[in-house]
Chains A and B, each alone.
Chain A
């Protein structure tokens, strides 16, 4: 393929990039994908082996470049030596998150940690859970509905009805298992003949225990939610997931490995490598791996992109090659931090000193996540066993509470019910389970402070040990709350003076939680109390918040100070948002730059508001819609 033949250059091969490549390849377009990290592996065995061997089985643990040494211990290389760096969970702890010598993201001036991470590898977010929620219709018109009291909110230039068919197409491509009747709530609607590609995934005993606990409530108990009518029951619904409930497109049914994150060992869960395999088998599609885009170069009148400058590096030596690539259309699909970083780095010999696609200075602003409030519960030893560590990581959740009049006052939340016990409790503080509990019993300690009675150094062995472990571990559970975050102009991606291993300026993050968002977390705290009380569960949530946790904050709740904290959901959104024109946004509803006719900036960076649903299905629906539009252009 000669350079002047190329129809489309795509930067990044995650969800959006892979899906667009696949659609356009089917139309015979000539495509080059620039991938900063490793290419597609021939199989996932090495990923799995790296995961099994990892001391900390964090989301990034299986994926290259290896974040651990040969013994599985975390590698603390200075990010200035890493050529395609990335944020990691292990660099989010106290003393690390805001030290650019340890953390790839420069958060040295952030008010609070931006707590989400990402990978840079072919297939991008393969370490996702598989959740495939549609947004609820209200999520697209937050300004219209709640903008009077929350001026940060904007409307999307499209609504649910514009996306409904694209949602269906995305569900077919990813292979989603769910039941239509179970997913009709808060005005989510489906075409009359619509069925999900596969039947729903069955619920877990923990799902049932929580559903039972919320079946009968009083309006006094639920008044705090601020719904139009205080509900007398709250429904637990199956979570639509791109996880096969039966064989689908040559992949097998989920075997319940309880490991969707970091890695599904059977690929029963969809990941973008699956959509990537098809185009990469096509003669018109080429992927350049270990190739980092460094500048988007505009033509003389700044109206169109003429080429992209990239650096290709060798993984076995210090050798690099810098070159440019031309095409008719350019698509930046590098995630909501790396995409604005590339735009801002593209100064075109000071012809665009503020970067590309940035005539109105909005690139990088409105960074959002779903701050994730985690609650840790334990049934009493004479109470019900819940059998965690079985089945997919999450099978059910609560979605019915994510829209209502309360959205004028506080952030909405969506509830995840975990099937993995205390697996990621307090990582880095007492370690995750089942390690923490096993050490507690064997060594007669009580580091997780949940063992009763405390053993004062006397270890348990033999049958007493097996009984204690079974009694405890089978009664663990956790709930997660995905909290809506306002799009705040001060939460933004700029360029750091700290560089990466290629000498390119790393992303610098400013981040805080607005009062609206913190009130959403406070409401999640009250919902947690209600669920635990109705279940008769013991609440260990407060014990898990460490004194030095950089995400902790105090919040007045019903007149009392309560310590809360949050994690990252990995849902990086908002930094090149879509809108009606260049005064309110960076791209249009087809994710095309307002400033440059042949430049598309795709992915969750285009979300003007973040709602509470995991973004992937909406990323996919928008990507397919964009691919359709581009296909008609070239």
Chain B
């Protein structure tokens, strides 16, 4: 029996003039792994909410068509009843865990299903073992990291052993390691237990290799429903924003078929003799595109030291009472107009360093020196908004400068993700440009066009002489904007070098292009140029 079937579903949220889903027809078979692709606001989340019954029961609105989940019609059965056949996981780990201990959290859906104590106890143990969280069972949920919380929430959604699990960007709030672990767990659930998975995800390169099908949603309608390979071919022609870096590399180089995973790409290059044994020095990425009519900086400013520095952090220590030091003598100097990417695993001290630099936290030892104001954009743009209209958040001139004047009468919470980020950036920038702008994980949960727009924005600021430091896990963004990358480890700088050096030869801190080309190029455009050169060389060699 089909575990999920949507038949001509059209849905509009209450008060909305445009439907969020338009005539969607889709079927998911038992054991299938389906990835939902699409930009922010395309309708992926609404589709998942329709599949779990929250649409229309929880959100209201106008619904037509028919959704069957495990044979249950969502018009007749609410989300609580659907929960027995479909587990659901959303983005935010904090609000998906409702009880105090992991054991109680896993037991909650089983008890709701009316199971007896023995069945509940067995279900909790099995969910704990299946999700690799058995060691957390007696831990308090308030002590868990984001990745652990998300696993517990996944465990709770799977405790009743549903045939289908629906996941709405479950890794968007997690660091790459925790995100990869979660996707690994999903893969195992799908392969070993036959659970059907429907996963909405922005970073397709992470999950495409596990997928049986990719369904692309655009403006609330299904734009493509195909196997990963065919989806990539479709995306190359119809939706370049949805291409993975590896597929973009191949399509720019004129190679086919487009690779689904790094392994496929390497195999294809090896087969053509383009795997680059004896690879040259890494190729620097092309400058980012124009942004809001302004021209991006042609090339990042050269690195300066000492008196030229816009921001200088010297031997910073942060030693909280009764806890491990969070900074251990970290030093960083950023010149005016320079863009620096700050990378490192979770807990390495990236956010702490930015907080200390911006004056939010006081260092125990060390000095912070800046030639002017230091602006900090924290991870959640919505936290900056206090007023009912965009106009009340900023004066007219600042709105004009940020390119948001046309949204002056809108409520900040009604803006799209990208617009929110731009507004928050304008709020922290203020009327006068700061000496330094610090950004903490600015691309979490962002789709490709928003990332590209942000990259352009940052390069413009760099061009205007603002020193920019961005803490990020996103190697693609670091390559797009930063000439220099600083790697933090356990509260201190462990590497400080040009981005091409730091991200070229890495394994974990590397772009997908770098992984495919063994570090010979960092971004798809540079990689494609390199591949074309190699192709030309191969042709010439063949002719001679």
- The answer to whether A and B interact is no
**Chain A residues within CB distance 8 Å of chain B:** none
**Chain B residues within CB distance 8 Å of chain A:** none
